[in-house]
Structure formats: structure tokens, C-alpha cells
Amino acid sequence: MLVYQILFGLAAISVPAVGLIVMLRLLWTVYRAIRVSRFKLAAISALAFVCLVALTAVVAAVWFGYAVAHSKKDIWSDLVLLLFTGLPFHVVSYALWRMARRFQSAHEVRVAPPGVSAEAPEAARR
């Protein structure tokens, strides 16, 4: 039973840790998008940040309600809680992480050093 409780505790700790890491990545994406004047990508990244904050608040509220509930808690109720809150949270976090990575790669393609054309020369296009 102790191993099960440790694993459940690690799963509970992973939700805010993963959420914080992805939120910081999204904020970094917003900053980089504003620096290169890509305001549409900045707005989408900011909206993703707000949605992730809201999802984190919902998951925290559900887990808090589960923790203070006066009901019998066993391994199956804990697994159902992880299945319906933890798994979707991690899936959404992974999807937003990939989105932020794709947006940042779009910034790197567009940014060129001063005095250098962002597009390839004519000879390189053939």
C-alpha cells in the first residue's frame, strides 16, 4: 500500500510541476513573438497560457475536493481521479508544449542578422 501512495503522491506533484514548466515555455514564446513583431502568434500563445492556468485551477479544485471529501478512498477511486483529471492535463500540457516549440521554430526561421536577407539567394532556391 505504501508504494501505491508514493506513486499517487508523485502523480499529484507532477501536475503543478508540468503545468509550471509549460506555462513558462508559453510565456517565453509570447516574449519572443513580441520581439519579432509576430503579434498573432503572441496572442495565441497568451491565450494558451490563460487556458492552461484555468485548466490547472480546475484540476486543483477537483483534487482539493477529492482530498477533503468524507468518503471511502481506495485505489480505484484514486485511479479514476487520475484518469479523468491527471491524464487530460498531461495531454493538454504536452500539446501546448509542442505548439510553443513550433511557434519558436517559426521565430527562428524569420529572424535574420542585420544586413542579411531572411530569404535564400536565387541560386540556393534551384
Q: How far apart are CA 73 and CA 26, in angstroms?
A: 36
Mean pLDDT of 59-86: 90
73-125 tens-digit pLDDT = 888 888 999 999 999 999 999 999 999 999 888 766 555 566 665 566 666 55
Give the model's pLDDT for residue 120: 60
Give the model's pLDDT for residue 2: 86
13-44 tens-digit pLDDT = 999 999 999 999 999 999 999 998 889 999 99
Give residue limits of the domains in the chain: 2-112
Q: End-to-end distance of the chain based on CA atoms, in angstroms?
A: 65
Residue 27, Cβ density class (10 Å: 0-12 exposed, 13-18 middle, ≥19 buried): middle
The model carries a pTM of 0.78
Q: How far apart are CA 111 and CA 71, in angstroms?
A: 57
Give the model's pLDDT for residue 75: 86
